[in-house]
Amino acid sequence: MGRALSRTRPWEQGDLTGGPADQVFAQVRQAVPGVVIERLAVTHPADDGNVYFLGAGAVLDRVQLDTGPDGRPPFLIETDCRVVTSDVTEAVAAVSVGLGSVDVALGDELP
């Protein structure tokens, strides 16, 4: 993905989009302990700021997650492959697999 780290800001547990993306982030944090989530920092309010980078360990941008305005679907998840979904469970699974979680795979039931 090759983005500059200075173009992002940490997306902490208390940060909310106001949409289903909040569920995705909460469930990914549960499934992948130590996950780091950063949000693209835009310079103009009209720019698309609904881009998030998720990583674990030394790789901070292993997965890119794009959402609609206010964290709404569809979710575009990019890793080694590309997944587009409006389903929270599918989004969590795709992100978790992209982060290398062996506990979650596409089609798994999540808590």
Ordered by start, the domain boundaries in the chain are: 5-98
Span 51-71, mean pLDDT?
Answer: 91
Q: pLDDT per residue over 38-57, tens digit each?
A: 999 877 766 667 999 999 87
Gyration radius of the chain's alpha carbons: 13
| Distance linking the first and last C-alpha atoms of the chain | 30
| Nearest to 81, CA basis, from 102, 61, 98 | 98
β partners of residue 63: 54
CA gap 72, 66 in Å, rounded: 10
b/e per residue 8-34 (b: at least 16 CB within 10 A): beebeeeeebebbbbebbebbeebbee
Lowest mean pLDDT among 38-47, 59-68, 82-91: 38-47
pTM: 0.83
